[in-house]
Amino acid sequence: MEKQSEIIEQRRKKITALRESGEVLFPNDFKVLNSIVEIKDVVEKSPESLGEKGAVFITAGRMMAINRFGKSSFLRFSDGTGQLQAYVRMDKVGDEVYALFKKMDIGDFIGVKGPLFKTRTGEWTLLAEDFRLLSKSIRPLPEKFHGLKDPEKRYRQRYLDLIMNQDTREIFIKRSKVVQAIRGFLLNRNYLEVETPMMQPIPGGAEAAPFKTHHNALGIDLFLRIAPELYLKRLVVGGFDRVFEINRNFRNEGVSARHNPEFTMLEFYQAYATYEDLMRLTEKMFQEVAIAVNGTSSIEYQGEHIDFSGKWERIPLLTSLQKIGGIEPDILDNREALLEVAASKKVKITKSDRLGKVITKLFDVLVEPKLIQPTFITGYPVEVSPLSRRSDKEPEMTERFELFIAGREIANGFSELNDPEDQKERFLQQVADREAGDAEAHLMDQDYIEALEYGMPPTAGEGIGIDRLTMLLTDSASIREVILFPHMKPSGRNEHK
RNA sequence: GGGCCGUUAACUCAGUCGGUAGAGUAUCUGCCUUUUAAGCAGAGAGUCGCGCGUUCGAGCCGCGCACGGCCCA
């Protein structure tokens, strides 16, 4: 047997003793009638009903702290809804039960039955008439006062983080509310929620490196999707005029405070809408979601006050480079001159990058970090927007926007390219880009072209990063704070502890 | 990929000039029937992330590696 810490050994000894005395350590016959939050509601709303012979509650939870006296003890326990204090007295529960209680530990699950009373210091407390062990813990929880702080441990053993840190619980409760609010917002507008393949023979819809996997029976390689876009638009071709999907995308790239290899995206498509319609819809959505989650349409994010209300600023991409990025307007169409600017600003440009890509790379460094309040940047070059509809006035630009908040890209939307011939040419150009060295350029998807050839209505679509939106609404600096189990390298250190 | 910082008891952290490893909480024993980080008395608990080196002697100095955090690309 591997070497145990002293505390664990002591607990194992107790467990052996309890088993030998015939105690069932993991029963499942205790019927809970009241959650802790229900009990607290009664206390707040009708304390008069809790008199001398007041209501008896039956509840359960995990013991988080114990103050032991000789023949009585206070203990604090939590369920998923809240925390409550109980008082266990030897003369109430009997000698045998109290002897069992003496062998129990912080971290054990208990069931308690009894009425409430008010302690000397005024705290409503459950007076145990019945007291049971519901599940025995072997490993000690982190200390109650400082809790669990080590970020590595918090991420690797999220369950401990959730037990010990109420803030963490609240982040993930808010995350759930974000998703619920978005779903409700779209369902109210007659969108249909759908699920499209996570495994795709041709990974499309975004510029990113995919994860590769293999289907044995079919004998083919498949790719975890980098975006659902091309499948959702096939559904628009199929006559589902308003569709959305909230699900995971996978991108085979680095892990950082802003990137997790799997992340959650909302994508939605609306027939007969334009990218301008979607900008207005996005404003409403964010306002509604923020109110649903935080009760207000403005947020504090990392010390910045950000206001989601009203109409957000719309700035054409080239204008933003000029006015915010400080680039001379007369060189915005001059690739060579922009390359010089890029070199002076230490922006990495690949030789094969065409003008549009040079522009967006400059934007990423010179403009994006400065866009704190919600801002739509509009009008992206065709060569970086292979799935977007061309502008009728400027055919080299597309009807596309990206949304930036707190210096980060939060959403990307456009009027969809539904001309199959133009789409085919765009794919061919992407294939050429790939051959010229752009490993993330799109692949030809002949099946998608064929779908467009049957005819897709004029449509606009958008993707919104749920993790990033949740970061904003929970004031989280790192994406790992809003993903329950962020990806990390195997440690090799804690494996055998 | 680069830079900086971190890794010491279950948790949170100290550890001076290189000289026997420390605290609080938690744990264990005893006392205690209204505590709020309860109290009092006592006790136990360590692969100092891993490896190599320097040294009479390394938690501490050097080199390498692993994992994590922050920043940069």
ipTM given for this complex: 0.94
pLDDT, one tens digit per residue, over A292-320 is 999 999 999 999 999 999 999 999 999 99
Distance B67 C1' – A485 CA (angstroms): 17
Distance B43 C1' – A436 CA (angstroms): 73
Protein-contacted positions of strand B (CB under 7 Å): 1, 6, 9-13, 24-28, 31-39, 44-47, 49, 66-73
Task: Tell me how far the alpha carbon of residue A219 is from its chain's centroid.
Answer: 34
The residue lying closest to nucleotide B36, measuring its CA against C1', is A121
Pairing of strands A313-316, A375-381: parallel
Q: Is the CB of A68 under 7 A from strand B?
A: yes
Q: Could you give the CA distance from residue A416 to residue A399 in angstroms, rounded to a whole number?
A: 8
Distance B5 C1' – A212 CA (angstroms): 36
Distance B26 C1' – A66 CA (angstroms): 11
pLDDT of A496 reads 32
Of residues A388, A391, A430, A396, the one with CA closest to residue A413: A388
CB A84 within 8 A of CB A114: no
Q: Could you give the CA distance from residue A78 to residue A139 in angstroms, rounded to a whole number?
A: 18
Whether residue A1 has pLDDT greater than 70: no
Distance B44 C1' – A13 CA (angstroms): 15
Q: Is the CB of A365 under 7 A from strand B?
A: yes
Q: Is the CB of A121 under 7 A from strand B?
A: yes
How many CB atoms within 10 Å of residue A31?
A: 8
Q: What is the pTM of this model?
A: 0.94
pLDDT, one tens digit per residue, over A396-454 is 999 999 999 999 999 999 999 999 999 999 999 999 999 988 889 999 999 999 999 99
